[in-house]
Structure formats: structure tokens, C-alpha cells
Structure 1
Amino acid sequence: MDQQLNAARFTGEQYVHLYDQFRPSPPIEIISQGLSYLNSPKPETVRVADLGCGTGISTRIWEGYAVAIYGIEPSEAMISIAQKNNRSGKITYRTGFANDTGLPAGSVEIVACSQSFHWMEPVSTLQEIGRILADKGILVIYDVTWPPSVNYQYEVAYRKLFQKVEEMTLALNEVIAHKWDKDQHLEQVKKSGLFRFVKAAYFHKSETFHKEKFIGLALSQGGLEALLKRGFSEEVIGVTAFQQEVAAIQDSPANMNFHYKVIYGIR
């Protein structure tokens, strides 16, 4: 398996800036619950590894709750943005894969995977998590459902676009990335035997709705970007039609609601 295929999915200066601009930060309640499973320790005793950290959106949220945070990401383009935006003495970013972090054994109390675990080979990644996680440490895996809940007209337009993306991707008849089923995450964590307690939970957050952001979220999806990288135009993929359809919808809801599935594992 070529892990570089997944890293290559998240490259290109224009794309990584788009990703950083429009992707949502996770609900703070996800972080709070993870800390509660550590029996609410003081921040100066908590160290965090954020695997597949991207541009650091999911890394920066830990700053007020930990003494040291390590963002690990295989895409050099993503890490470059994260490092450029880093204003914290607590956060260190490094290029690496989730199954080979380079962190010392037992060096972190929390391992977080935000919108990233499905890009990681689960068996070797969980072995590495087990190696770097301290005794009684916490694993937090969280994924957001696309698209956010707004109203059905916007969501139908989004679904139509990504149905076309999926059809075009299958027609390529080549492996453009390695992706694991999110619905299998819970069972994979349980089967690892690393955790004495495993639980799935659900959280949500709301953000003010803007058509520009809704369109930006669609354009930030890696599957769409992979087709653009292969030379397909926005018109052929369906992006132009999607943008026009969104622009024509007269009803604009007040909020976009993001829904997260979270898996907690206690060592």
C-alpha cells in the first residue's frame, strides 16, 4: 500500500488554503469529554498527539487544555500552513504518518484523530497509538457528516455534485487513495484490545450560514480535488452547476449544523 497516495490527495497551495479557510473546527465539547475521561487533569499534565492534523485546525483547539501538542501530518503542504499559522509555544508540527509518528513510547495522554482515521491503515495505526499512549490515556476519533444540515435544497445540490464525483472517480479505474470505512472505526478500536472502555458518542455545533462557506466546504473535499488534479474541469465535474444551483436558492437558513460521530477509547 502506497501511503503517499493519501498524502498527495491533500496538496497544492490553492487547495490547502481553501481547506484551511472553510473546514470547521471541532466542538469544544468533544475535547471536554475526552478530558473528563482523564478525570479532568490540569493542563500542565496533559500531552496530546493530533494524528492527521492537516493545517492545524484540529490541533489549535487543544492549546488551552494541554502543556504540549504534537501535530502529525504526511502532507508537507498542509504542515506548511499549520507551521505558518502557529503562534503557540505548546504546539509542535512534524511531517509523518500515523503509524510511524516518531514520538517516544508512552509520551502522550491523549491521541486525537480529527476527520483523519479513515485515511490511516487501522491495524498498524492502532499499534502505534498503543505505543505512544500513556497508561490510562485516551483515544479520541471524530468525524463530521457531510454536508452540514441546512435545508434540503442545498443538501440535494451537494449530494448531486458528489454523486457525480463518485461516478467519475470509479470510472478512472485506478487507485487514487486508500480509504477505510468510517462505520468500521468502532469495531477496529474494540478489536485492537488496547482499550478497557470504548464508546461511540455524538456531538454537534452550529455556525452562521453563508452560501460562500457552503460552497467552500464542498470544494474542500479531497475527492473533488483529486479529479481537478487529474485535469477535469469544474464544469465537467459539476462544480459550476452546483455553484449556480446554490446561488439560485432563495431561502437561506440562519445556521449550518455540523454533526460529529466520536469514538472514545480509554487505555
Structure 2
Amino acid sequence: MIPEGNSQANIDRFLGFQEEYDRYRPEAPVLVTTLLKNYLGAFPSLVVDIGCGTGLSTFLWEESAKAVIGIEPNSDMLDKALEKLSLRNKDGVASNISFAQDYANNLNLASESVDIVTCSQSFHWMEPVSTLTEVLRVLRKGGVFAAYDCDWPLMLLPSIETRYKHLVAKADDIVTRLLPPEDRAHKWRKEELLSRIQANKGFSFSREIVFHNTEPCNAKRYIGLTLSQGGIQTVLKLGTPDLSQDISEFQTAVEKYFNGRTMEVLISYRMRLGIK
């Protein structure tokens, strides 16, 4: 039984494609640790990364905190994170990172025990009111909360970005047509998070931060990243061929653009930050 306020459909949305997610999604940039340590004003004793997925945003903190905990409710994503942690620990050196299967609004952590709480590409899948209440409970005075996301699609070419948006929109339409409401994932608007933080009297300071990063990308990665989007994955898991032609045309356009090249692609991030 999952805690009240959580959605089984939201959790299940990420079942079955942890390998593709981990292989193609952007890693969180190191700048995140620099920004948040500066706002904290100290080297963090404990960082908690909620909705951590396969750990792409958790391992980032390995050298930037005394202890790091990744929290993830989805068993497939969590298993991948634990597999990666096991590989890092194979030399027998204990890591300061651990992972736990838990929920954003029901953390098994002591009150005022955490210096920094992060959500990377994940807060919009969490019930916002109960999650912020729980975040404030576990944060110490002066602790930092930061939810950050990159903008989709990654910047490339107008015609390809338009195809990307068409694919995602068509996938959402197919899911709405084929799945009953109770089986569909629900996404909260990212644009409303800052106002939610500002309206919560538990935070003494808040702001939005925009920054950029670059990562190497080729056709295989750009296509894989696109197909790792949850709505498209839901359609593929349903077994319907409704997206087949669109995916094929998208792949052809991306492969033609990259033409065998690997390029640095710009990734834009938006962080909504609150200090207790």
C-alpha cells in the first residue's frame, strides 16, 4: 500500500525502460552542487535526492557531501541505481551514497536532519502540497530545496524539434484514448512550482535559476532520449502501432542531421529553489 497522496500510475509510468532512461537521459551538471552548496553556506552533511530514478542526479553528489541518499518509489529504476552503486563499490571501498525505496511525501528521515533536498526531472510527478510539507519537515533551518528540470526537446533544428513535439503530443493523445483515467499518470505543472514555494511560509527565500550545460550527442542518443519519454514508452508498452510511422520518420530526420557525427548539444535547465 503506497502512502496517501501518491499515484500508482505515476510510479508505474517508469517501469520497464530503466536501461534506456539511464543510457540516454542527461546527467545532472556539476554546477548544481556548486550552486546549492553556495546557498547552504557549508559543506553538506546529508543530501537527499528524491525521485532519483537511476541515480543520474544522485551520484553527482559523491564528492560534494558527507552522505547522500537517493529516494525512488519505482522498483525498476531503483534496481538500476543499486546496480550502478554495486559496480562502484566492487573495489571494497564503502560509498557515502545509499538508495531507498520510499515516497516524496513520506520520507523515513528524522526531522531537521537534511541539509539539501533535490528533485531532478521529478517534482512534477509528485503531489506538490504534501511533498513540500515533508521537505520542510526533514530540512534543517537554512537547508536548501531545489527542483530542477531541463527543457525538452534538446536544441537541435526546428524541423526535428517540431517532430519531437508532435511525437510527444500524439503519444499523450493515444494514452488518453486507450487508458482509463485511473490508469493514466498525472503531471503537475512545472511552471507553478515557484509560486507554490513562495506561498509556503516555511521557506524564507525563493527564486528561479536558469543555467545551461552541454553533453555529447549523436543520432542514436537523440533518438533514444526521445523514445525514453514516458508517454512514448507507455504507448510502446501498450503494443499499439499508432506511433510506428511517426517514430520511423523522426529517426530518419535525426540520422540525416547528425550524419554519423557526435556533437555537443546545449541543454537548458530551470531550477526552482527554496531556503528554509
- The reply to whether TM is greater than 0.5 is yes
Deviations 1:102-160 (A, max 9, x none): 11111110000000000000000001101111111000110111111122232122122
Alignment partners' CA distance in 1, 2:118 and 2:73: 15
Indicate the residue corresponding to 1:78 in structure 2: 77
| The one of 156, 165, 170 aligned to 2:171 | 165
One-letter code aligned to 1:5: A
Contact kept, 8 Å, 2:219 with 2:258, in 1: the verdict is no
Amino acid at match of 2:45: V
Matched, 1:8 2:1: no
Unaligned runs of 5+ in 1: none
Q: Which residue of 1 aligns with 2:92?
A: none
Aligned partner of 1:34 in structure 2 is: 36
Kept in 1, the 8 Å contact 2:171–2:243? The answer is no
Contact conserved, 1:235 with 1:241, CA < 8 A, in 2? no
| 1:48-197 matched pairs, under 5 angstroms | 48-86=47-85, 87=88, 89-172=95-178, 174-175=180-181, 176-197=184-205
For 1:29 and 1:93, locate their aligned partners in 2 and report how far apart those are by CA, in whole Å. Answer: 22
* 8 A Cα contact 2:69 2:97, kept in partner: yes
Name the CA shift for 1:46/1:98 in 2 (closer, same or farther; >3 Å): same
Mark the CA change 1:253 to 1:17 in structure 2 (over 3 Å): closer, same or farther.
closer
Task: Work out the percentage of aligned pairs sharing the same amino acid.
Answer: 36
Provide closer, same or farther for how the CA distance between residues 237 and 263 of structure 1 changes in structure 2, counting only shifts above 3 A. Answer: farther
Letter in 2 for 1:261: R
Return the offset for 1:237. Answer: 6.9
Contact 1:49 1:111 in 2 (8 A): yes
- Counterpart pick for 1:227 among 228, 232, 235: 235
Picking from 246, 249, 259, the partner of 2:257 is: 249
1:216 maps to what in 2?
224
**SS state of the match for residue 158, structure 1?**
helix
- The answer to whether structure 1 residue 198 and structure 2 residue 206 are counterparts is yes
Query: Are 1:263 and 2:269 matched, yes or no?
Result: no
Unaligned runs of 5+ in 2: 90-94
The count of corresponding residues between Structure 1 and Structure 2 is: 262
Post-superposition offset of 1:2: 5.4
Task: Give the root-mean-square deviation of aligned CA atoms.
Answer: 1.8
**Preserved CA contact (<8 Å) 2:46 2:116:** yes
AA in 2 matched with 1:26: A
Indicate how the Cα distance of structure 1 residues 234 and 22 shifts in structure 2: closer, same or farther if over 3 A, else same.
farther
Q: For the Cα contact (< 8 Å) 2:6–2:126, is it kept in 1?
A: no
Between 1:138-147 and 1:234-243, the stretch displaced more is 234-243
Q: Deviations over 1:182-240 (max 9, x none)?
A: 11010111122211100101011011231111001101111111111222237547222
Give, as a single letter, the amino acid of the residue that structure 2 aligns with 1:255.
Answer: E
8 Å CA contact retained: 1:150, 1:253? no
Look up the equivalent residue of 1:203 and give its one-letter code: F
User: Is 1:228–1:234's contact at 8 Å kept on the other side of the alignment?
Assistant: no
Q: 1:237 to 1:221 in 2, by over 3 A?
A: farther
